[in-house]
Each structure stands twice: as structure tokens, then as C-alpha cells.
A and B are shown apart, each in its own frame.
Chain A
Amino acid sequence: MLKLVRTLPKVLKYLPSDKAQDARMYILSLQFWLGGSPDNLVNFLKMISGSYVPTLKGMKIEYSDPVLYLDSGIWHPLAPCMYDDVKEYLNWYGTRRDANEKLKSKNAPIIGLVLQRSHIVTGDESHYVAVIMELEARGAKVIPIFAGGLDFSGPVERFFIDPVTKKSMVNSVVSLTGFALVGGPARQDHPRAVEALMKLDVPYIVAVPLVFQTTEEWLNSTLGLHPIQVALQVALPELDGGMEPIIFAGRDPRTGKSHALHKRVEQLCTRAINWAELKKKSKTEKKVAITVFSFPPDKGNVGTAAYLNVFASIFSVLKDLKNDGYNVEGLPETSEALIEDILHDKEAQFNSPNLNVAYKMSVREYQRLTPYATALEENWGKPPGNLNSDGENLMVYGKQYGNVFIGVQPTFGYEGDPMRLLFSKSASPHHGFAAYYSFVEKIFGADAVLHFGTHGSLEFMPGKQVGMSDACYPDSLIGNIPNVYYYAANNPSEATIAKRRSYANTISYLTPPAENAGLYKGLKQLSELISSYQSLKDSGRGPQIVNSIISTARQCNLDKDVDLPEEGEEISAKERDLVVGKVYSKIMEIESRLLPCGLHVIGEPPSAMEAVATLVNIAALNRPEEGISSLPAILAETLGRDIEDVYRGSDKGILRDVELLRQITEASRGAVTAFVERSTNKKGQVVDVSDKLTSIFGFGINEPWIQYLSNTKFYRSDREKLRVLFQFLGECLKLIVADNELGSLKQALEGKYVEPGPGGDPIRNPKVLPTGKNIHALDPQAIPTTAALQSAKVVVDRLLERQKADNGGKYPETVALVLWGTDNIKTYGESLAQVMWMIGVRPVADTFGRVNRVEPVSLEELGRPRIDVVVNCSGVFRDLFINQMNLLDRAVKLVAELDEPEDQNYVRKHALEQAKALNVDVREAASRVFSNASGSYSSNINLAVENSSWNDEKQLQEMYLSRKSFAFDSDAPGVGMMEKKKIFEMALSTADATFQNLDSSEISLTDVSHYFDSDPTNLVQSLRKDGKKPSAYIADTTTANAQVRTLSETVRLDARTKLLNPKWYEGMLSSGYEGVREIEKRLTNTVGWSATSGQVDNWVYEEANTTFIQDEAMLNRLMNTNPNSFRKLIQTFLEANGRGYWETSADNIERLRQLYSEVEDKIEGIDR
């Protein structure tokens, strides 16, 4: 068609008839219009008016022929024309008279640019020209390509890849369009984009021009980039593996045209060149700065990262880099020696925490190297200050080996300062923090920095949420250094923050292989007793065994979880079954809980056998969209049972069902184990899964799972369904044991493209595997999905049932709950949908599947009152899902304005009351969606607890109120977060229940400090007029059988499966130094729960004391492996007692005090 438009006018010109001329004009008009440039449009008007305006007809208005532009090609402002052949373009480039020697040099890096044709044609290309000039002025060649459509994958391959050698001709690519490579803002095709970029194999940056905001609006906004642009131009390109969403162009409010933001363009271009240099530099000369963290600031915590044995991993990485040709001179022989090198300062500097000092930076040098140093003085005074400082110089801690520097990232610096923790906004980085990054960039001269593990504090420094400006600290700190970040695969939300705010190329690592928690001590005895009860219950010994079960259960503190009859009480056989069933069900719950054992070491993937528990859990989920039935469902079916039915029966404690479920679980494990054994070699490695698999599949009786099941009661299971399932498990197994973490790191350091992949829970979404991918989240507008809404309904219904059962059949009027970023990514918005279902609205998607509307569900359909909510969004959720906050706020306001009776609509009821009390309108009173101020994260209760820097619970509650009381208002979405403390307090005071979701089996309540940090249970009690403590619930959707438990039940379950479980702590201790810290962390987080909710039983502390302190051998192991963490452990025990959370004997306390001074001495001694 376009060809026709091009040639037709030439033919028609020579036809005399008027009709033909009209046709010619019509085609010319099309050409002018499609050509779109100002000149074309002028000539278009001239032609039309000269030919068709009657009064002008005689005047013979001259016009030029339309200028036609290529549909896609290469454009350079100096070039005489556009090129559609890269060789021709480069020929011209070589003849440029204006170019200097540097630009002509063979060694000049080459940057590919991706531009939008419409900007070039319409002459709105100043921002493009700015980038081209900046790159060329810095000595980089450019190949700027453009396309008219939305699919850039073709042009990228055509112009950036040498047609002969098939190699990339560019060293890095910067897209200035801000769009996903294929599909722009409309329907994306990420797999195609990734395919094209894999061929290209260079770092791929997607920079963003402002579209919906003027420059001034963006600068003034604490949100930063407009939410719609964040969704379309930041989140979607991430799915292609796009990095570094740097805002490089603003908009002039007068002309509407784009213009360069000079400092941002500089930042973008230097970073693009530095990425390109990684491709050009040799390995021997490349300098890498490995950065480790210390959370909370304590020597025992140097090298903290979630699930990671950091020093062992660094050691493994460095050995590998050394073999690969990097200069790692002087690397010690073992990872223990590496720890020693970094932790211990041989020359003991005064006022240093005894870490090795890598560099002392004078204040003068610091100020010269750190242009933003003066801005830090507002919070920290004149440099050097007293953090990372000896009073005269700023101290950089770490150690250099050849071209590799291992450094310790300084901490926030205000962890121990209760006043600062209270501020609603976070403080800037301190001088020592800034000095660290100035050192890395300008003195050490890093070609890349590698942040080691989840996570540090750089990306959480104050600044805009997304779309940094010159005044945002994460941007200033990271400076010009390419940032590679090892990040836990299960944490896509915070990984996304690191990507957006500190420009990280995130490389995922696996969480340690999970194992079933198993049973120990009394719990093990119980399980034995139960099994003998089952075989002997009708023999007359039944009552006796039940008595033993009841007393053992009491010893195990199960009396709070199960209603136990008094000992010796006469009960009927039926009741006996029920009691045993309930205890059994609890035991099985504990036994089958998944826990990551030990810590992961980069470069050491799990063996096949270690992957069994994970595979069993993968097999436990139904995947209807892929046509895969779950293993338990297949097995239950064999006996004519529906697995959901079995789950429900087991939850109720029906002995028969509990036993059946146990058998199903056992059979599942057996079948999967048999399968894994067959597909591995003698060393337990999966050598050649595909070969092995083909030989396994399709041989009916020979299939290992069939062989296994033939000896069980499930021998008649559906073979076809099993084959489909095990084929899928085979794929998963291959992915679990794949080792790409080191490989991907090396690719990143060599300036190659790191394949992107979703982060999340490998059990729910095996696409997370293999690790070693550049983690991304999801299209934020895609959630909640229909499936998520379905699951949400189940959880909400169970929650409300539970609350009713415990509260005389009354519905809660208000539920205070938390929305987490990671949770909503992993579950595609389940908890978001829970909120919607509580207030009774339904999300509505548009034709692209984007959720941007809600509609009320009628009261008839809902069958209950609308429950009011107080939504506390984590800072990360706020950054990632601001559009969904907007949607929720609109939903709440919509519901508050429905004309419904107040006893059927608690949102309306409360909003009306609050509107009256505060003298505002209902819409404003109906503010329920809260979070931190922009650029600020967490309630800081976690920091206060970890550093024991709090006086009383009141202070913690005040922190929560002052930091979390920022509301999102859909009536003023551009404003961002606004403080609405009064409404926040009033809304919380109506809460009858608090509620959070657990999203992954490997992260539970005491594994991280986030959960108690956001728990308002005690706060609600203090705000409620009746002073009643609200019920607190935790939903657990990590297993096939979703559960809503009370908070105290969950705390107990967590303590039993982790802190007090020998399998867990022995697993941790096998990692040495880090292991002690992990144990201490669990105890500290437990104290956090006591402080925010008061839901921790005394026995938890008592048992912990028995396990770790009273056991002499254990005590010595802890003290010798990591004395600093052990000291903190003792301190935490004493604190739990001092704050009244743990009552124990005077002897115990005396022993702890004595130990404390012993370990103090020991630490002093070691260091001297």
C-alpha cells in the first residue's frame, strides 16, 4: 500500500482529467500527512488551499513535493540523509569533518540509540540531539536508529547486528523512547523483545522522557515520575530486561516540546559509556568493588544478606573470577581467612569498630570528590562527623585484593537515635556513607560495583520514588558506576526498588533448598504415641494412650493450639479420636512446614536430592491453566476422595482424614524421591535430565513413580495425569539445579545482556528458575487477576468466619491490614483483591487486561455487611503499585458514598462519623489507604528493635503513627502522599482485627523484621475507646491448603519450626559465622512481636534459653563462632526479660548476666 502511495502520483501527474488530478492530490495529501514534518504540513496546506479555495484558484500557489521519510532507519542530525543500511551510515560517519581524533579512534565505544520516528519527523528532537552530542563529546560513537511502528525488535536486529559476522556492532544500547521494545504502550511481546536483545547481548538501558508532566511538576513531585508513565515506561521495559530508568528529557510548558535535562543527560550518557566500557576492557584491568552490608550496625552482622552465606559466596565468586583472568592478587586460601582480613584491624584505629580500614579520606578530599556533601550537613553537620570517622578523616572499611575491593557499606546511621527514628521522613545519607561511594568511584576507580545480597541501604535513601532528579541521594551516591546486585529470587519487589532507584542489574540467587521441618523432642514422641494409638485404640489401651498424648501435648505447649481435656477426665471413644485428630493435625502441620535449611552459597546449586522437598511442594499445587493436576489430588482421586474435602476434614481434626492426608504426603514424597533418584547419577547430580527423562517416560510400569506407588494404597492412580505432572517436575528439576548465578555475574561484568526473569516463589511460579536472571516484577496494572480474586474470596471468608466464631457471631467492623509488594507480585494481587472483597467491590479489566476500574458488588451477592478497612501499604508497595493505591482509594470512596444502611456498610458508617467529627466531607473522611511519605520506608520499629533503641511501647506506636499516616488521595493523585494522621488514628480505632498475609514458605514471621514492623495490634488497642485488644490474624497461602491462623498460633508455629527446631538451627550453624547471626536475628524478631502485639508466649523464650544457653556445648559453639552476634543474643534475652516479655528464674538471668560479661571480655581479648 505504501509503495502505491509513493509511485502513484508520478503516474497520475501525466493524466489530464480533473478526476485524475483529484486522485493525485488525495495521494499527495496522504504523503504530506504521513511525512508529518513541519515543511510537509506547510506544503500540504499550500497545495490544498491553492487548488480548492475558490478565491485562491487563480493565484498559482507554489508548493514543494512531499519529503518522504524512511519508516525505519538510521538518523543522525549531521547526516545528509537517513540511512537504511548500517554500512552506508558508518561510511558517512567515517568521513565526518567535524569529528575529533578520539571519536574516530578504533577503540571508541559504540552506543546504539533507539528513537521514535515521530519525534524526528516533527522536529521535536532536541532531547535526542542532546544525547547524541553528549555521547560524541565523551568520545563514543553512536548509531541512532528509529522506527515508526511499535515493534523495534526488527530494526534492532537489522541495524545493530553485523549481517556477516552476526555479532553486535554496538557495546551498549540506550532506548530513548521509554517504551517496551515490542508493543510500546499497547500489547507487548516480551519474549520477542528478549529474543532480539539476547542476540544483541549488550547492556540495555531504557531512559524516559517526561510525557505527562512539565519539568517543574516532576521536580516538585515527591513521587517523581507520573504513575502512568511508571506503569507504561518503567515497569513494562523491565520485563524486557531494560535497566536504568533515568529521566533525561523534560517538557516545556509553553511549547510542549521536549528538552534535555543537562545533568540527567550527562548521567545517562556516562553510565551508558561505562556499561559499554565493560565490554571493551580486558579482564586483567577491570576493577570491581564488592560491597557487603552490616544490618543492624554491629560487627557480628558484617556481610548480612537474606539466605546467603556471604563470605563463602564472595570467596567462591572471587576464585571463579581469578580463574577467568581477573586480578585478585593476595586472595586468602579460605573464606574464613577472608572474613578475618576484613573484620579485624591489625592496627586497631581509635574509634573504629575494629574493621579493617581500607582508606582514610581527609575532609578536604571528601568535599572535593563529593559535590553534594554540603547538602548532607542539614542532617549531619559539618564533615567528618562521628560516623565512619576518626574525628579528622572519613574511614572506608574493607580490603583490596588486586583489582577487587571488598568494602563494607556504612549503615543509615540513625538506627540508635530514637528521635531520628520518629521523623516521618528519613534522613539523608551521612558523610561516611557518601565517602564510601566517592572512594569506590573516584579513588578505587571501580568499573563496576557488585552489591552482595539482599539488601543494603543505598537504594532506600531519600529521593523521589521513581525517576530520580539531581537532588535524589540514590542517584548521587551510585554516581557513574555500573551497579550489579545479587538479589534473592524470592524478593522481586525490593529488587525492583534497587533497579529503579540505584540502577541495579539485579542477578537472582536461589534461596537455600527447603526441607520439611520434621519433628523433634516431645513433638516426635507425640507422633509416635499417635501412631500407636491408631493401631491400639480398640484394644482397650486407647484411653491410656490418649492420656499420655494429652500430657505430652501439654509439655509441648500445644494446649493453646488445641483444646485439651483435663488429664484423667473420662471421655468417649469418639471424643478421643477428635482430640488425637486435632493434635495429629497440628503435628503434621509442623512436620510438613517447609524451611530453608542453612544458607545458600553462590555457585553451589542444590543437589537433586536437596531439591526433593521443593519439588514435592511444586507438585502439590493444581495448575489448571497448564493442564496439570496436583499430586495429592491425583492420589486422593484414586480412593474416590476430593483433596479439598480431605484438607477440610484434616483441618477439623477428623482422625481418618488427618491420617489419609499424612499417607498422601508420604506417598507424594516417596514418588518424587523415586523419580529424582532415577534421574541423577551416583554423585547425586542431575547430569543429563533430558536423556534420562526420555528413557524414563513412556515405559508404563517402569516409570519410577509408578513403581513406588504400586506398593502403596494408591497403586491405581491415573497414569496419564501422573506422566503430565512428572514431565513438568522434570523440567523444574533441571531448572532448580542449574547453575547460572556465577555465569550471569560474569556476563554482566563483561558488558553482556543478562536474561530477565520474574522474581517470586519458585513453588508457585517455577519460571523464577533458573536463578541468575535479571529480576523483574510484573505489569502493575495486570493485578489483581481473576484467579487472585478467587483465592482472595476464600481467605476473606475464612478470616471473617474465624473472627465471627471467636466474637459471638459478630462481623468485624474494620480490619487493619498490610499490603506488601512482594506478596502482591507473587500472588498476582491476592491481598489487593482481599481488600476489595472486604469492602465489596470487584476489579474490572479493560481489553488489554489492565485493571483500572472497580464496580460495587451488591449486598445480596456479598451476603454480609461491607467491612471497613485500614490499609497500610509498605513503602515498596507504594513505589510499585501507586496506580493500585489510587484504585483502592477510589473504591473506598465509592463504597462510602453508596446509599446503603449503615449496619450493612461499615465503611459508610465510619466515614459519616469521622466526617462529622472532623468537619470534613465524606469523601475526605473515607481515606483508608496509607503508607509512608514518599521516598521513605518502614515504620522504623524494626530499626528501633534491632538496635534496642526504644524506651517503651508508646514510643514505638508513636513511630508507627507518625511514619505510616500518609494517605493517598485519588481526588488529588498528583500530589502524592499527604499526612492525615487524625483520620488514620480514627480509622485504626475502629479496628476489630488486624491481618497480614504470608506469601512464601521460606519467609515467615520471625525471618524478617518487616512483619512486626508493620503490625499495629497493640497500637489499635491503645487507640480503641474500649481499650480492647483486637484479634490478630495471619493468612498463609503458601501451601495448597490455605490457612487463616491467629497471630499467636503463627508465632508458635514459627518458633517450633525454626528457632527451636534442631534441624533448622543445626542447618544454620553449618554456615558458621553467619549462622549464629541468623539464630540471634530470629530471637530479636520474636522480641519485636512481643513489643508490637504481645502475642508471644513465655515458653518460647524459656525454650530458647534452654536450647541455646543451658546447653553448654551449644553455648560454646555460638560464642566461638561469632562472639559479636552471641553477645547480641544474650543482650536480647536480657532485654526480653527486662521489658517484661519473659518471666524466668533468677538463676537464668544471673547466668545470662555472667555470660554477657564473659563474652565482652572475650571480644576485647580477641581484638587486642
Chain B
Amino acid sequence: MYPKGGLEKGDPPYRGEPTLIWAHVKRASKFLILLTGTDEETRRLIIVLAGEAAQKRGYVFFSEVKFIQESDLKTIDELWKQYSDNKFGYSVQKKIWEKSDRDFTKFFIKVGWMKKLEASEVEQFNYRSFPTEFIWEMDENTPEGHLPLTNALRGTQLLTCILTHPAFHGNEEEKGEEKGEENGVPEGKGKKNEGLKGLRNRIFKTDYSF
């Protein structure tokens, strides 16, 4: 139902210095054409970065997020943004979350982690089923901030801690700029996106073969 977000038991625990994380991230970036893999790798990395106990457990306890280095989280986020044309990444999610008044239901609906229940008499939403109902495609139908997935099986405190991590503290200031952008030059931005989309379609063909 949800992203499993755990290390496989067999994976060697990460024991290096935080700066050496790059090797892992680079390994991840190779997979960026395969969003599924990258997404999984991101969650694996978060666990690795949270420390040995988290690795042994197989998931991150919310209070362990503070052990993650600012630079490491930033790097992961930068890679996501860079390769998704600012569509994905934690900082992208953070903006959406802040705009939703930090209400996770509103946020989950916006990033497409929850779906509307058609059979319900009142307007209600349920979590999407993992993995079949999530989208690992650089498609315009994929909602902004859809990736990377963070496990909500254990509630929302883990994600809260990631989104409020000092690595993303700069984002509040961007709020203003972003607004300006929205009002100011929407057309130009749209065009740029279209150009990139073509490129993406050529380079990032979806392939689930491995």
C-alpha cells in the first residue's frame, strides 16, 4: 500500500564518513532514468544516513532525522530537482506542504499520494496502494512533488522531520520569489517546460525491465 522504504536485510550497512556519501548518491544518480530505483535508493539512503540503529530496524524513527547531515540531504534533494526539472524532491514537497498549512491530508492529495473515494457519500480520500498506484514517470500527469515517496505507514512524523530539517530552512525565503514568478512570467516558464519535456521523453523512457 505504501512505499516500503526499508533496507533489504542483505544490504551492507553504510559505515563511511558523511562526506563519503557521495559515492552512494552517485550510484543512485545513475539510476535516475529509472525513477523506481532512484526512489527506492533515496529511501535506502535516508535510512543509511539516519544511522546504524535505523539500518538494523529497517526504518527511520522520526527523532533520528536530526542525525542526517544537512549537506547530504541537500545533495539528494538537488539531484532530484536537477533531474526532474524542479518537479520532484523534498524541497519541492516542502513548499507544497507549507502551502497546505502543513496539513498532511491536503498535502497527500496534492502530491497524489491519496486518492478520492468514488463510492463514498461524503468527500473522502484514501491512501494509494503501493506500489501499483504510484507513478514513477516523468509525465505531465504525475503531480508535482509526487517523488520521492516517504513511508506513511507509521504516520507523518518522519516526513515532518525531513521537511523541517535544517537542510531545507532556506526555502521559506523562496516563497516570496516563487509567488513573483507565478504572477510575473508564467508564459516563459511554460515554454521552457515544454522544451524539456520533449528531451525527457527521448532520454527518460520508462523501462521497468530491471
Point out the residues of chain A lying under 8 angstroms from B120, CB to CB.
219-220
Is B192 on the interface with A (CB-CB < 8 A)?
Answer: no
Which residues A80-139 have CB closer than 8 A to chain B?
96, 98-100, 103, 126-127, 129-131, 133-134, 136-137
Is B66 on the interface with A (CB-CB < 8 A)?
Answer: yes
Point out the residues of chain A lying under 8 angstroms from B61, CB to CB.
77-78, 98, 129, 133
Is the pair A215, B57 in contact by a Cβ cutoff of 8 Å? no
Chain A: interface size category: 35 or more
Point out the residues of chain B lying under 8 angstroms from A470, CB to CB.
105, 124
Closest chain A residue, CB of each to CB of B152: A262
Is the pair A471, B123 in contact by a Cβ cutoff of 8 Å? yes
Is the pair B154, A263 in contact by a Cβ cutoff of 8 Å? no
Is the pair A130, B127 in contact by a Cβ cutoff of 8 Å? no
What are 18 A-B contacts with C-beta separation under 8 Å?
A78-B53, A136-B62, A137-B160, A137-B161, A215-B126, A219-B117, A219-B120, A220-B119, A220-B120, A253-B1, A259-B127, A260-B153, A260-B154, A262-B105, A262-B155, A266-B155, A470-B105, A471-B124
Is the pair A126, B154 in contact by a Cβ cutoff of 8 Å? yes
Residues of B whose CB lies within 8 Å of any CB of A are 1-2, 53, 57, 59, 61-64, 66-67, 103-105, 117, 119-124, 126-127, 129, 152-158, 160-161
Is the pair A260, B105 in contact by a Cβ cutoff of 8 Å? no
- Considering the chains assembled together, what is the distance between the CA atoms of A469 and B117 in angstroms? 13
Taken residue by residue from 40 to 69, chain A's Cβ proximity to chain B (1 for < 8 Å, 0 otherwise) reads as 000000000000000000000000000000
Closest chain B residue, CB of each to CB of A78: B61
- Considering the chains assembled together, what is the distance between the CA atoms of A129 and B64 in angstroms? 14
- Considering the chains assembled together, what is the distance between the CA atoms of A470 and B64 in angstroms? 29
From known contacts A219-B120, A252-B1, infer whether A262 and B63 are also in contact, taking CB-CB under 8 Å.
Answer: no
Is the pair A262, B123 in contact by a Cβ cutoff of 8 Å? no
Closest chain B residue, CB of each to CB of A368: B101
Say how far A967's CB is from chain B's closest CB, in angstroms: 18
- Considering the chains assembled together, what is the distance between the CA atoms of A216 and B154 in angstroms? 18
From known contacts A137-B160, A219-B117, A219-B120, infer whether A259 and B62 are also in contact, taking CB-CB under 8 Å.
Answer: no
Taken residue by residue from 388 to 418, chain A's Cβ proximity to chain B (1 for < 8 Å, 0 otherwise) reads as 0000000000000000000000000000000
Which residues A448-493 have CB closer than 8 A to chain B?
469-471
Point out the residues of chain A lying under 8 angstroms from B154, CB to CB.
126-127, 129-130, 133, 259-260
Say how far B9's CB is from chain A's closest CB, in angstroms: 9
- Considering the chains assembled together, what is the distance between the CA atoms of A255 and B132 in angstroms? 13
Closest chain B residue, CB of each to CB of A77: B61
Closest chain A residue, CB of each to CB of B129: A254
Say how far B2's CB is from chain A's closest CB, in angstroms: 7
- Considering the chains assembled together, what is the distance between the CA atoms of A130 and B157 in angstroms? 8
Taken residue by residue from 243 to 261, chain A's Cβ proximity to chain B (1 for < 8 Å, 0 otherwise) reads as 0000000101111000110
Is the pair A215, B127 in contact by a Cβ cutoff of 8 Å? yes
Is A265 on the interface with B (CB-CB < 8 A)?
Answer: yes
Q: In the complex, how many residue pairs between chain A and chain B have their CB atoms under 8 Å apart?
A: 92
Say how far B104's CB is from chain A's closest CB, in angstroms: 6
- Considering the chains assembled together, what is the distance between the CA atoms of A254 and B129 in angstroms? 8
Point out the residues of chain B lying under 8 angstroms from A216, CB to CB.
117, 126
Is the pair A77, B57 in contact by a Cβ cutoff of 8 Å? yes
Say how far B127's CB is from chain A's closest CB, in angstroms: 7
- Considering the chains assembled together, what is the distance between the CA atoms of A130 and B61 in angstroms? 9
Q: Could you say which of B2, B104, B117, B127 contacts A220, with CB atoms under 8 Å apart?
A: B117
- Considering the chains assembled together, what is the distance between the CA atoms of A471 and B121 in angstroms? 10
Say how far B146's CB is from chain A's closest CB, in angstroms: 18
Is the pair B63, A99 in contact by a Cβ cutoff of 8 Å? yes
Closest chain B residue, CB of each to CB of A131: B155
- Considering the chains assembled together, what is the distance between the CA atoms of A408 and B71 in angstroms? 55
Point out the residues of chain B lying under 8 angstroms from A250, CB to CB.
127
- Considering the chains assembled together, what is the distance between the CA atoms of A96 and B59 in angstroms? 17
Is the pair B117, A137 in contact by a Cβ cutoff of 8 Å? no
- Considering the chains assembled together, what is the distance between the CA atoms of A425 and B124 in angstroms? 18
Q: Could you say which of B63, B117, B129, B155 contacts A98, with CB atoms under 8 Å apart?
A: B63
Closest chain A residue, CB of each to CB of B62: A133
- Considering the chains assembled together, what is the distance between the CA atoms of A323 and B153 in angstroms? 49
Is the pair A98, B67 in contact by a Cβ cutoff of 8 Å? yes
Taken residue by residue from 364 to 375, chain A's Cβ proximity to chain B (1 for < 8 Å, 0 otherwise) reads as 000000010001
Closest chain A residue, CB of each to CB of B151: A126
- Considering the chains assembled together, what is the distance between the CA atoms of A1053 and B201 in angstroms? 85
- Considering the chains assembled together, what is the distance between the CA atoms of A469 and B121 in angstroms? 13
- Considering the chains assembled together, what is the distance between the CA atoms of A122 and B190 in angstroms? 51
Q: Could you say which of B1, B62, B126, B152 contacts A255, with CB atoms under 8 Å apart?
A: B1
- Considering the chains assembled together, what is the distance between the CA atoms of A184 and B117 in angstroms? 33
Closest chain A residue, CB of each to CB of B121: A222
Beyond the given A130-B154, A255-B1, A259-B127, please list 4 additional residue pairs across the A-B interface where CB-CB is below 8 A: A137-B62, A259-B2, A262-B152, A263-B105
Is the pair A262, B2 in contact by a Cβ cutoff of 8 Å? no
Say how far B105's CB is from chain A's closest CB, in angstroms: 6
Point out the residues of chain B lying under 8 angstroms from A127, CB to CB.
154
Say how far A183's CB is from chain B's closest CB, in angstroms: 30
Closest chain B residue, CB of each to CB of A269: B155
Instruction: Indicate the member of B53, B61, B123 with the most A CB atoms within 10 Å.
Output: B61
Point out the residues of chain B lying under 8 angstroms from A131, CB to CB.
155
The list of the 4 closest CB pairs from A to B, nearest first, reads: A130-B155, A98-B63, A252-B1, A133-B157
Closest chain A residue, CB of each to CB of B105: A263
- Considering the chains assembled together, what is the distance between the CA atoms of A262 and B103 in angstroms? 11
- Considering the chains assembled together, what is the distance between the CA atoms of A96 and B152 in angstroms? 24
- Considering the chains assembled together, what is the distance between the CA atoms of A254 and B2 in angstroms? 10
Say how far A256's CB is from chain B's closest CB, in angstroms: 10
Is the pair B124, A219 in contact by a Cβ cutoff of 8 Å? yes
- Considering the chains assembled together, what is the distance between the CA atoms of A388 and B2 in angstroms? 44
Say how far A96's CB is from chain B's closest CB, in angstroms: 8
- Considering the chains assembled together, what is the distance between the CA atoms of A103 and B105 in angstroms? 26
Q: Could you say which of A137, A215, A259, A263 contacts B157, with CB atoms under 8 Å apart?
A: A137
Point out the residues of chain B lying under 8 angstroms from A262, CB to CB.
104-105, 152, 155-156
Say how far B90's CB is from chain A's closest CB, in angstroms: 18
- Considering the chains assembled together, what is the distance between the CA atoms of A133 and B62 in angstroms? 7
Instruction: Indicate the member of B120, B152, B155, B157 with the most A CB atoms within 10 Å.
Output: B155
Say how far B158's CB is from chain A's closest CB, in angstroms: 7
Is the pair B66, A98 in contact by a Cβ cutoff of 8 Å? yes
Is the pair B123, A375 in contact by a Cβ cutoff of 8 Å? yes
Instruction: Indicate the member of A77, A131, A253 with the most B CB atoms within 10 Å.
Output: A77
Is the pair B152, A260 in contact by a Cβ cutoff of 8 Å? yes
Is the pair B121, A133 in contact by a Cβ cutoff of 8 Å? no
Closest chain A residue, CB of each to CB of B127: A215
Point out the residues of chain B lying under 8 angstroms from A263, CB to CB.
104-105
Is the pair B123, A133 in contact by a Cβ cutoff of 8 Å? no
Which residues A657-715 have CB closer than 8 A to chain B?
none
From known contacts A98-B63, A220-B119, A262-B105, infer whether A134 and B126 are also in contact, taking CB-CB under 8 Å.
Answer: no
- Considering the chains assembled together, what is the distance between the CA atoms of A134 and B161 in angstroms? 12
Which residues A206-251 have CB closer than 8 A to chain B?
215-216, 219-220, 222, 250
Say how far B57's CB is from chain A's closest CB, in angstroms: 7
From known contacts A254-B129, A470-B105, infer whether A100 and B63 are also in contact, taking CB-CB under 8 Å.
Answer: yes
From known contacts A133-B155, A137-B62, A260-B153, infer whether A219 and B126 are also in contact, taking CB-CB under 8 Å.
Answer: yes
Say how far A221's CB is from chain B's closest CB, in angstroms: 9
Point out the residues of chain A lying under 8 angstroms from B122, CB to CB.
375, 471
- Considering the chains assembled together, what is the distance between the CA atoms of A262 and B151 in angstroms? 11
Is the pair B155, A265 in contact by a Cβ cutoff of 8 Å? yes
Say how far B44's CB is from chain A's closest CB, in angstroms: 18
Say how far A974's CB is from chain B's closest CB, in angstroms: 12
Instruction: Indicate the member of B64, B157, B158 with the most A CB atoms within 10 Å.
Output: B157
Point out the residues of chain B lying under 8 angstroms from A252, CB to CB.
1-2, 129
- Considering the chains assembled together, what is the distance between the CA atoms of A131 and B157 in angstroms? 10
- Considering the chains assembled together, what is the distance between the CA atoms of A442 and B121 in angstroms? 29
Say how far B113's CB is from chain A's closest CB, in angstroms: 11
- Considering the chains assembled together, what is the distance between the CA atoms of A253 and B173 in angstroms? 42
Is the pair A134, B155 in contact by a Cβ cutoff of 8 Å? yes
Say how far B73's CB is from chain A's closest CB, in angstroms: 17
- Considering the chains assembled together, what is the distance between the CA atoms of A96 and B158 in angstroms? 17
From known contacts A77-B57, A254-B129, infer whether A259 and B153 are also in contact, taking CB-CB under 8 Å.
Answer: yes
Say how far B120's CB is from chain A's closest CB, in angstroms: 5
